[in-house]
Amino acid sequence: MNTLDLDSDLLNILTSASKLALNYFGSYKSLKSKRKEDLSPVSEADIAINEFLEEQLKKITPEIPILSEEGSKKTSKRNDDSFWLIDPLDGTKEFIKGSKNFSINIALVEQGKSVLGAISEPVEKKIYIGSKSKPARIFKDKKFQNLNPKSISEICVVSVSKSHSNQYEKNFFKYLKQTYPKVEVIEKGSSLKFCDLCAGASDVYPRFGPVYQWDLAAGQAILESLGGEIIFKNTKDEVYKYDFFKKINGFIALASSENTKKIKKIAKF
């Protein structure tokens, strides 16, 4: 499939999905929500956005199956060469607290690789789209604009999660500070950390705890289209699968692959 043909469709889908998300966000204090089996929250906004995304993706690519965080677990494993991998509301914890740090993620997987990614930042009215066929761009102010990620200079800017931290991450920061004259930290929720990498606002995004594959796939496609790279802690995690329960057990996202060798050494991957 030519991923270039899907850019405008994804833009239209995410524009509408973002408006839907903002409608729910406007009344976040009264949102109905509950805990899932893994104790993470899911709200009525997650469900509504998921239903919309699945409906729209089926319209443009009826032949491609969809794997979603809020989709059905009945077909938990399949051997499809291509499938959509989506997170209808990445950052639900932030969303239901009234924080702006949430996003909508859509990725297309082919032969185990994320080849097309789209991330919407609804509050800021920004949509990022990139693929193996075309460098990512950001759509804002009713037009596409180029993105300019950067290499690490003397200052290493690190994007980190607002909700997750462990000893591995603390050790990584210790070694970073021994390597670079200055280390700065930006706290963000959801896949917005990938957006910071792509926009030149940060250099590194480390995540050493397990995440589901829909948290990573869209950001990876966008980042790699701009010359960035994902370093996986375990090589088997590099392959995406139509498996609802598949997790990725640690990675580091880099705005520029120029820094891969040094960061690998620091992370001891």
**Residue 48, φ and ψ in degrees, nearest 5:** -65, -45
Bridge pairing between strands 66-68 and 82-90? parallel
pLDDT tens-place string over residues 15-58: 999 999 999 999 999 999 999 888 789 999 999 999 999 999 99
- The total number of structural domains in the chain stands at 2
Q: What one-letter code names the amino acid at 90?
A: D
Bridge pairing between strands 204-207 and 251-254? antiparallel
Indicate whether 125 and 17 sit together in one domain: yes
CATH code for position 82: 3.30.540.10
pLDDT tens-place string over residues 191-230: 999 999 999 999 999 998 899 999 999 999 999 999 999 9
Indicate whether 99 and 211 sit together in one domain: no
Q: What is the dihedral of CA 190, 193, 195, 201, to 10 degrees?
A: 150
- CA distances (Å), 105 to each of 25, 128, 186, 265, 268, in order? 17, 10, 21, 30, 29
Indicate whether 112 and 14 sit together in one domain: yes
Give residue 108's pLDDT.
Answer: 97
Q: Which domain holds residue 161?
A: 155-267
Which domain-ending residue is among 86, 115, 146? 146
Mean pLDDT for the chain overall: 92
Indicate whether 130 and 32 sit together in one domain: yes
- Of the candidates 207, 259, 11, the residue with the CA atom closest to the CA atom of residue 116: 11
Indicate whether 28 and 115 sit together in one domain: yes
Highest mean pLDDT among 117-121, 149-153, 166-170: 117-121
Which domain-ending residue is among 102, 121, 146? 146
Give residue 137's pLDDT.
Answer: 97
Indicate whether 181 and 255 sit together in one domain: yes
Indicate whether 9 and 128 sit together in one domain: yes
Instruction: Report the percentage of the chain scoring pLDDT > 70.
Output: 95
Which domain-ending residue is among 94, 116, 146? 146
pLDDT tens-place string over residues 63-97: 999 999 998 765 666 777 899 999 999 999 999 99
Indicate whether 35 and 71 sit together in one domain: yes
Indicate whether 160 and 244 sit together in one domain: yes
Q: What is the pTM of this model?
A: 0.94
Give residue 3's pLDDT.
Answer: 65
A 10 A CB-CB count for 264 gives 14
Indicate whether 94 and 186 sit together in one domain: no
Indicate whether 141 and 164 sit together in one domain: no
CATH code for position 195: 3.40.190.80
For residues 245 and 226, what is the distance between their CA atoms, to the nearest angstrom? 29
Indicate whether 133 and 235 sit together in one domain: no
